[in-house]
Amino acid sequence: MSNPKKAIVLLSGGLDSATTLAVALDKGYECHTLSFDYGQRHRHELAAAARIADDAGTFHHVVTIDLRAAGGSALTGDIAVPKNRGDGPIPVTYVPARNTIFLAHALGWAEVLEIGDIFIGVNAVDYSGYPDCRPEFTAAFETMANLATKAAVEKTLRIRIQTPLIHMSKKEIIQKGISLGVDYGRTHSCYDPLPDGGACGACDSCRLRKKGFADAGIPDPALYAPEKP
Amino acid sequence: MSNPKKAIVLLSGGLDSATTLAVALDKGYECHTLSFDYGQRHRHELAAAARIADDAGTFHHVVTIDLRAAGGSALTGDIAVPKNRGDGPIPVTYVPARNTIFLAHALGWAEVLEIGDIFIGVNAVDYSGYPDCRPEFTAAFETMANLATKAAVEKTLRIRIQTPLIHMSKKEIIQKGISLGVDYGRTHSCYDPLPDGGACGACDSCRLRKKGFADAGIPDPALYAPEKP
């Protein structure tokens, strides 16, 4: 039988997933965190995920999958990450089917670990317009997941895709995280970090983060430029 | 826009996927075949997939993903493959969420390649009872997939999960393949092959295959024992 006090939390190492983990812990779940080494150019986020997991004392797992082979994204390929982009169509930082792939792997782990609750920090307010961040997507994934597994057929496990941030603004996410004690200095959001790991300050992810902290009236602990010697 | 004459075909190297590829080619699709190196113990199937793809002149891609880390299956772990198993519950050769994971990766490739049709050789008649081989699963995956991708949101691509074998018996699959010129001597079905690649003859996959050829009255070209010197 599934253990109602355990959850899997997708942890990228960014602001949203760190907050999602804090929410899951606050709800009393024992958490298994799952990060993906998928050939992302912003590899500093994997280190951030490891330190956030360590801080929280979770069971942390890193799954290696190759999303570079298919290509098609600025986050895995040779396409440049756009800077100071305005609103507009879905940007080239979109990774084809990324959340579908991440949730599919999480589903395999969920079944092996006998855990029904999968937390993902998707957000459909202050986001880049990625289709796989919308509630209709996560609801459809949940329906599919409950037809996909042996545990579902044998009725020992009911999969729930939990998206606590889905309707929150970035400001609200940050306020929630601060109230739960999240140290955002441990997170990494930038899509195109400098060689020393500093944030570029101009990609979509940096811009959404900076605006969120500004709106919340809280200083952003991220380093937006390399420290000068 | 999607190209209606192209398809992605999941190709394990076994009897079903080789037949599925033949069906897709017969329908006039230019095929991209996709195989997964997921740490399976029956690695001979990857070689079989490569030769079947080469025979057919497809664009062949191998995606490396790690399904061993999660464990939970005789096909990737240390659990023994059961032999001469009767009917019963879903066996330990079930790999948690395998088809969900495979189709999720295929979806990413579909979007990059601008291909809407994804063929998978699942079969709900002569099969091991895996939940992710049932039509309700593939239908739910298709619904989810059309909410997951940028191309779906922008209405440039409609994903269709095509399962031409879903209602066929193993006998009918073999008869179909023979009529389309499939050389089953190039396929590999065994879950637990001998060191030289010969088939064990006793695992679920071998048993279903042998029965299919027997029912069809066609000799099975698989080698079920190592050749004696």
- If you average pLDDT over each of A3-7, B55-59, B70-74, B86-90, which comes out highest? B55-59
User: Is the confidence metric ipTM above 0.90 for this complex?
Assistant: no
Give mean pLDDT, residues A118-136.
Answer: 86
How many angstroms separate the CA atoms of B84 and B102, rounded? 28
Percent of chain A with pLDDT over 70: 85
H-helix or E-strand spanning residue B114: none
CA distance A99 to A112: 20
Q: What is the percent of chain A with per-residue pLDDT over 90, rounded to a whole number? A: 55
Nearest to A133 by CA among A170, A108, A188: A170
Quickly state the pLDDT bin for A156 (edges 50, 70, 90): confident
Name chain A contacts of B136, Cβ cutoff 8 Å.
147
Nearest CA in chain A to B150: A131
> What structural domains does chain B harbor?
6-216 (3.40.50.620)
The model's pTM is 0.89
A41 vs A225: which has the higher pLDDT: A41
**Average confidence (pLDDT) over B10-36:** 96
DSSP string spanning B77-107? SSSPPP-S--S-SPPTTPPTTHHHHHHHHHH
Which of B104, B136, B154 minimises the CB distance to A100?
B104
More confident of the two residues B85 and B165:
B165
Q: Give the three-state DSSP class for B8.
A: strand
> What mean pLDDT comes out for the span B113-117?
92
Q: Average pLDDT in the A188-213 region?
A: 87
Contact B136/A at CB under 8 A: yes
Residue B158's pLDDT is 92
Question: In the prediction, which pLDDT does A173 show?
Answer: 96
Q: Scan residues 40-79 of A and list those with Cβ closer than 8 Å to B.
A: 61, 63-67, 69-72
pLDDT category, A28, cuts 50, 70, 90?
very high
Question: Closest chain A residue to B129 measured between Cα atoms?
Answer: A150
Element (H, E) at B219: none
Q: Which 189-228 residues of chain B touch chain A by CB within 8 A?
A: none
CA-based nearest residue in chain B for residue A91 = B150
pLDDT in tens, A65-108: 877 766 666 666 666 767 766 565 666 666 788 899 999 999 99
Using the beta-carbon criterion (under 8 Å), do A143 and B148 form an inter-chain contact? no
A171-185, B103-117, B144-158 — which one is most confidently predicted on average? A171-185
% of chain B at pLDDT higher than 90:
55
Tokens of B69: 């880390």
Across A15-19, A87-91, B21-25, B141-145, least confident range: A87-91
In this prediction, residues A199-212 reach a mean pLDDT of 90
- Shortest CA distance to B121 belongs to which of B35, B6, B34, B11? B11
- pLDDT confidence of A196, banded at 50, 70, 90? confident
Taking each helix axis as running N to C, give the angle between helix B135-148 and helix A135-148, from 0 to 180 degrees, rounded to the nearest 10: 160
pLDDT averaged over chain B?
Answer: 86
* Predicted local distance difference test score (pLDDT) of residue A228: 40
Q: B228: distance to nearest CA of chain A, Å?
A: 40
Q: How many residues does chain A have?
A: 229
Please, which pLDDT band fits residue B2 given cuts at 50, 70 and 90?
low
The verdict on B154 touching A (C-beta cutoff 8 Å) is yes
* Residue A153 at interface with chain B, using a CB cutoff of 8 Å: yes
Question: Smallest CA–CA separation between B129 and chain A, in Å?
Answer: 9
More confident residue, B163 or A113: B163
Mutation target vs B (from A105, A111, A115; most B CBs, 10 A cutoff): A105
B89 vs A: CB within 8 A: yes
- Does the pLDDT value for residue A2 go beyond 80? no
- If we measure between CA atoms, which residue out of B194, B191, B174, B172 comes closest to residue B183? B174
SS (H, E, C) chain A: CCCCCEEEEECCCCHHHHHHHHHHHHCCCEEEEEEEECCCCCCHHHHHHHHHHHHHCCEEEEEEECCCCCCCCCCCCCCCCCCCCCCCCCCCCCCCCHHHHHHHHHHHHHHHHCCCEEECCCCCCCCCCCHHHCHHHHHHHHHHHHHHCHHHHCCCCCCEEECCCCCCCHHHHHHHHHHCCCCHHHCCCCCCCCCCCCCCCCCHHHHHHHHHHHHHCCCCCCCCCCCCC
pLDDT band at A169 (very low <50, low <70, confident <90, very high): very high
- Kindly report the nearest CA distance between residue B66 and chain A, in angstroms: 6
Q: Which of B22, B30, B40, B36 is nearest to B3 (CA)?
A: B30
Q: What is the DSSP string of B26-94?
A: HTT-EEEEEEEES--S-THHHHHHHHHHHHHT-EEEEEEB--TTT---TTTSSSPPP-S--S-SPPTTP
Say whether pLDDT at A229 is over 50.
Answer: no
What average pLDDT score do residues B187-209 get? 86
The closest CB to that of A64, out of B66, B112, B150, belongs to B66
Cβ density class B170-199: b for 16+ within 10 Å, e for less: bbbbbbbbeeeebebebbbbbbbbeeebbb
CB contact under 8 A, B131 and A147: yes
B89 vs A140: CB contact, 8 Å cut-off? no
**Greater model confidence, B197 or B91:** B197
pLDDT at B78: 60
Q: Which of B35, B75, B98, B141 is the best mutation test for A, with the most CBs of A within 10 A?
A: B141
Residue B227 banded pLDDT, cuts 50, 70, 90: very low
Task: Give B32's strand partners.
Answer: B8, B59
